[in-house]
């Protein structure tokens, strides 16, 4: 009788300790996380009064081409009639880091929904590392870092919090601007 109670108490202690450690790690990933996919996801619906879904998709494509590195070579899906555009793009920040992401636009006449997710941080590992060359890690992976690496995580999260709103502001500006007929 005492053994089952003792085992149940021990199990409860182990589970609560594990959950507390998990909560400690995830509090540092205070970026918007989609409840279904568990991916860091930026999404919103934005009004674009007077614009058709085709125009919005063309604007999104033009913006991605000018905003993302090597966007012409990146996979893109464009269907102006259906009001959808998506691509994988990368942004190189001035201080040497690169983030890649997936952008998806679902447009209707007069509004669009943007979704940015699948964020990856890319960096060059030094030759003294076990793996040298360009390495990449998902932003969600930061939540698994132990306490000794939390400064690294805080710096990376600060980068994301700083560059993504700027990137989204430029997307919104582009989505409200007519594209000259010659560049379509």
**Residue 116: its pLDDT value, please?**
97
Domain for residue 11, yes or no?
Answer: no
**Residue 23: its pLDDT value, please?**
46
Note down the domain range covering 140.
32-183
Domain for residue 77, yes or no?
Answer: yes
pLDDT greater than 50 at residue 16:
no
Going by DSSP bridges, is the β-strand pair 98-108/84-92 parallel, antiparallel, or unpaired? antiparallel
Coil, helix or strand at residue 103: strand
Structural domains counted in the chain: 1
Domain for residue 15, yes or no?
Answer: no
Q: How confident is the model at residue 166 (pLDDT cuts 50, 70, 90)?
A: very high
- Please report, for the domain that includes residue 168, its CATH number: 3.30.530.80
Phi, psi of 177, deg, nearest 5? -115, 135
State the pTM of this model.
0.76
Domain for residue 58, yes or no?
Answer: yes
Closest listed residue to residue 40, CA positions, set 152, 156, 138: 138
Domain for residue 169, yes or no?
Answer: yes
pLDDT in tens, 39-95: 999 999 999 999 999 999 999 999 999 999 876 667 789 999 999 999 999 999 887
pLDDT in tens, 94-143: 877 899 999 999 999 999 999 999 999 987 766 555 555 678 889 888 87
Domain for residue 152, yes or no?
Answer: yes
pLDDT greater than 70 at residue 11:
no
Domain for residue 9, yes or no?
Answer: no
Helices (H), the chain: 2-26, 53-67, 150-175
Domain for residue 1, yes or no?
Answer: no
What average pLDDT does the segment 3-27 reach? 47
Tokens of 75: 């996979």
What average pLDDT does the segment 150-162 reach? 85
**Residue 95: its pLDDT value, please?**
74
């Amino acid at each position: 009788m005492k053994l089952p109670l003792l085992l149940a108490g021990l199990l409860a202690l182990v589970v609560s300790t594990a959950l507390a450690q998990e909560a400690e790690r995830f509090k540092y990933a205070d970026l918007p996380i989609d409840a279904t996919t568990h991916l860091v996801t930026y999404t919103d619906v934005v009004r674009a009064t007077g614009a058709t879904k085709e125009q919005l998709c063309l604007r999104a494509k033009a913006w991605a081409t000018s905003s993302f590195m090597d966007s012409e070579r990146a996979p893109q899906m464009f269907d102006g009639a259906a009001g959808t555009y998506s691509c994988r793009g990368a942004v190189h920040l001035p201080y040497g880091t690169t983030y890649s992401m997936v952008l998806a636009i679902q447009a209707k006449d007069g509004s669009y929904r943007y979704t940015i997710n699948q964020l990856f941080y890319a960096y060059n590992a030094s030759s003294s590392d076990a793996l040298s060359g360009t390495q990449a890690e998902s932003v969600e992976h930061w939540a698994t870092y132990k306490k000794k690496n939390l400064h690294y995580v805080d710096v990376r999260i600060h980068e994301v919090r700083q560059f993504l709103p700027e990137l989204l502001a430029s997307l919104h500006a582009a989505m409200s601007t007519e594209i000259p007929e010659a560049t379509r």
